[in-house]
């Protein structure tokens, strides 16, 4: 006797539900894609709030929380303004210096007996003059209208991120407590209440320490560049600070332009600069970073690089920083949940 065949029966109600779920999924993905910028603002603001929360909590012991948030935000905006002003002023002064010196050097090159004929054939002086005439427009990102549009877009982003950061700083603890209360199981709720603060302290403590090390590396590079009279010290300091977020040898790699520019005028300056950056990188890796990892969490260079590269591909530098933070939170959570 043949075994009975199994038949799949789809009722009209199931078909309607399946189509509705598919449509809702596609609509949700479309909304997510269209809201990518806003979601990025929220994530960046939440990250800033998480990093600034310990400072606000410390000040809250001496003043109301709203006033503490205001003090922290004013200090943050002031510090950012000083950095931006230093960078813009440095770029402008070096641009003016380049516009003054480069045409003279190009003209001297065309008059030189050794390279003059080749330089004249290549129109080095004319090309240099045209490049320098176009340089201010390139630095501001195109025409004046393009620069204004870009500035307006960045202004909206900074304003939205700032307002969201203030909101999270003011109401973040209540939002986190309300999220925990959504769990009906008392044991799970108690476990989350115990786990959350520990993971936050370890992950954000590691992130704050990493950013502090990057700031220290940038200031060190700025001081070394100024001491060696290397042009563009502020821009090079920011460059080294950003590269210091790369584990193991980021600051050392970023210091190569400083050493190279110093070598143009003085081999001695280049030698002591190279030695100073090597010593700084070794001290950071074996003294500061290991101590930070013992007190917070050990992420490791592979996970940091992998997370940073994935985030960089998805959303640029902010995406890289958020991805590294996400990896750090995941590692801290796994370490806490792992059996002793």
Residues contacting 247, CB < 8 A, separation 6+: 300, 301, 304, 305
Q: What does the pLDDT average to over 207-229?
A: 91
Instruction: Give tens-digit pLDDT for 37-88.
Output: 888 888 889 999 999 999 999 998 888 988 999 999 999 889 888 888 887 7
Query: What pLDDT sits at residue 40?
Result: 84
Query: What pLDDT sits at residue 218?
Result: 92
For residue 244, CA distances in Å to 20, 176, 241, 277, 281 come to 49, 32, 5, 12, 9
Contact 267, 248 (CB under 8 A): no
φ, ψ for residue 11, nearest 5 deg: -80, 160
Query: What pLDDT sits at residue 155?
Result: 80
Query: What pLDDT sits at residue 111?
Result: 78
Q: What does the pLDDT average to over 179-192?
A: 84
What is the signed CA dihedral for 137, 141, 143, 144, rounded to 10 degrees?
A: -100
pLDDT at 276 over 90: yes
Confidence of residue 142 (pLDDT cuts 50, 70, 90): low
pLDDT at 29 over 80: no
| DSSP alpha helix (H) spans, 35-143 | 36-60, 65-111, 116-121, 124-139
Up-side HSE of residue 16: CA atoms within 13 Å toward CB? 3
Helix (H) or strand (E) holding 340: none
Structure tokens at 106: 């190009």
pLDDT at 10 over 90: no
Residue-wise DSSP of 114-146: TTHHHHHHTTHHHHHHHHHHHHHHHHTTSSHHH
231: three-class secondary structure by DSSP? coil
Instruction: For the chain, give the number of residues.
Output: 340
Choose among 212, 237, 210: nearest CA to 224.
237
Query: What pLDDT sits at residue 206?
Result: 92
Structure tokens at 200: 């936050």
Q: 288, exposed or middle or buried, with CB in 10 Å at 0-12, 13-18, 19+?
A: middle
Structure tokens at 240: 């080294």
First to last CA, the chain: 59
Query: How much is the pTM?
Result: 0.79
Instruction: Give tens-digit pLDDT for 152-174.
Output: 777 888 888 889 999 999 888 88
């Amino acid at each position: 006797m043949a075994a009975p065949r199994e038949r799949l029966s789809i009722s009209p109600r199931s078909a309607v539900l399946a189509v509705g779920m598919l449509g809702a999924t596609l609509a949700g993905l479309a909304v997510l894609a269209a809201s990518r910028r806003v979601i990025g603002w929220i994530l960046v603001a939440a990250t800033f709030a998480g990093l600034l929360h310990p400072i606000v909590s410390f000040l809250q012991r001496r003043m109301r929380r709203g006033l503490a948030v205001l003090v922290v935000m004013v200090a943050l905006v002031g510090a950012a303004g000083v950095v931006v002003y230093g960078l813009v002023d440095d770029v402008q002064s070096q641009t003016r210096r380049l516009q003054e010196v480069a045409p003279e050097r190009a003209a001297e090159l065309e008059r030189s007996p050794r390279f003059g004929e080749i330089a004249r054939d290549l129109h080095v002086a004319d090309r240099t003059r045209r490049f320098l005439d176009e340089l201010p427009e390139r630095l501001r990102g195109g025409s004046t209208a393009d620069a204004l549009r870009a500035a307006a877009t960045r202004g909206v982003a900074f304003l939205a991120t700032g307002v969201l950061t203030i909101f999270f700083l003011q109401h973040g603890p209540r939002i986190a407590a309300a999220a925990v209360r959504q769990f009906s199981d008392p044991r799970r709720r108690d476990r989350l209440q115990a786990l959350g603060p520990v993971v936050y302290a370890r992950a954000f403590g590691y992130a704050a320490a990493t950013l502090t090390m990057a700031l220290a590396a940038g200031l060190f590079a700025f001081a070394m560049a100024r001491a060696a009279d290397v042009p563009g010290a502020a821009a090079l300091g920011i460059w080294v600070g950003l590269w210091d977020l790369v584990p193991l040898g980021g600051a050392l790699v970023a210091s190569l332009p400083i050493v190279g520019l110093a070598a143009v005028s003085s081999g001695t300056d280049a030698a002591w600069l190279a030695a100073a950056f090597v010593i700084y990188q070794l001290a950071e890796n074996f003294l500061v970073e290991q101590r930070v990892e013992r007190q917070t969490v050990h992420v490791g260079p592979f996970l940091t690089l992998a997370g940073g590269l994935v985030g960089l591909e998805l959303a640029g530098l902010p995406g890289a920083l958020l991805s590294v933070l996400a990896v750090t939170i995941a590692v801290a959570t796994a370490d806490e949940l792992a059996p002793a």
